[in-house]
Structure 1
Amino acid sequence: MMQATEYVLSEQPFVVRRTVRWGDCDPAGVVYTGRFTDYLLGAVGLYSAHMAGGEGRLGEAHGVGLPCKAMRLEFIGTLWPDDVIDITCNVEAIRTRSFDIRCKAQRPDGRHVFDAMFSPICVRLDRREGTAIPDSLRAVLARFLVPAS
């Protein structure tokens, strides 16, 4: 039986557990830099689905698209095949048209692996231009808001 490489470990706080696959690594056995983006996007996707109530896409449930406006990754530690990381996600800031999802990854023993920010922006579905965050979406985001400390 094959074990899942990514799954929701906890909903409060929201944590995604990810196991590194051999195919994520270079010939020396270290995770490719680009795979960290995959880990971030996977966690953000699961978190967004959770905020949407587990059904559909978060933006579409509120009449907007949510493409990525910005993404930042700080690499703190390396990963090897079969390493496990826990990625904690929360909404950190809500602005007029965009918001930030902060994701911090650490090993189960607490050693930090990466600190990342994913910032979607609201766009109209009919014209693909920026628009204000709908009130209904803003209310959902506010429930998950954990301001930066």
Structure 2
Amino acid sequence: MTQSYEYVLSDAPFVVRRTVRWGDCDPAGVVYTGRFPDFLLGALALFKDHIAGGSGESLGQPYGVGLPCRGMTFDFAGTLWPNDIVDLECYVGEIRTRSFDFHCEGRRPGGEPVFNARFSPICVHAHVRESTDIPAPLRAMLARHARAVTTR
């Protein structure tokens, strides 16, 4: 039986469980730093589809906007090895006029922190490629998945 290396563990809170593969690691067996954005983006793709109601469309597509990356940050607290499991809890943080934050907290199943990440998209018109305000219906969808973020 083949098991997926990434799947939704729960909807509330929204958590993606990922198993580290050997190919994610360097010869010493530690996950490459450059693989963590893949972990983040994979979990956020599932989260964005959840927010959009499982439509399979891009989160901004129904509103005529794209959501390219404005910024991405990571704060590492631990390492991962082949076959380790990491649970990635995703939620919406601050919602600004034209941009907002997705947060992802990576923890081992026992709760030990591995990393915290923030991905900040900016709202742009799909055809004009200029920034624009977040459309009200999209803002409302994001607000339903938001939670206050504490400064560490």
TM-score, length-normalised on structure 1?
0.98
Percentage of identical aligned residues: 61
Q: Is 1:25–1:80's contact at 8 Å kept on the other side of the alignment? A: yes
Is residue 58 from structure 1 mapped to residue 59 from structure 2 by the alignment? Answer: yes
Shift of 1:61: 2.2
Residue 2 of structure 2 aligns with an amino acid whose one-letter code is M
CA distance in structure 2 between the aligned counterparts of 1:49 and 1:98, rounded to whole angstroms: 18
Number of the residue aligned with 1:36: 36
Q: State how 1:1-149 maps to structure 2 within 5 Å.
A: 1-55=1-55, 56-149=57-150
After superposition, the C-alpha distances for 1:88-146 in whole angstroms (9 at most, x for unaligned) are 01101100000001100000011100000000110001111100000110110111110
> What are the ranges of 5 or more consecutive residues in structure 1 without an aligned counterpart?
none
How many residues are aligned here?
149
Contact 1:52-1:61 within 8 A present in 2 as well: no
Shift of 1:63: 1.6
Partner Cα distance (1:24, 1:145) in 2: 30
Q: Give me the whole-angstrom Cα distance separating, in 2, the residues matched to 1:118 and 1:91.
A: 10
Q: Distance in 1 between matches of 2:51 and 2:127?
A: 23
TM-score by length of 2: 0.96
What is the rounded CA distance, in whole Å, between the counterparts of 1:61 and 1:117 in structure 2? 24
CA distance in 1, matches of 2:40, 2:7: 13
Structure 1 distance, partners of 2:20, 2:69, is 24
Q: Separation in 2 of the partners of 1:19 and 1:38?
A: 13
**In 2: Cα distance, 1:125 partner to 1:91 partner:** 22
Question: How far, CA to CA, are the matches of 1:40 and 1:30 in structure 2?
Answer: 17
What secondary structure, in the 3-state scheme, does the structure 1 residue paired with 2:29 have? Answer: coil
Shift of 1:75: 1.1
The one-letter amino acid paired with 2:137 is: S
SS at match of 2:38: helix
Paired with 1:90 and 1:14, the residues of 2 have a C-alpha distance of 7
SS at match of 2:86: strand
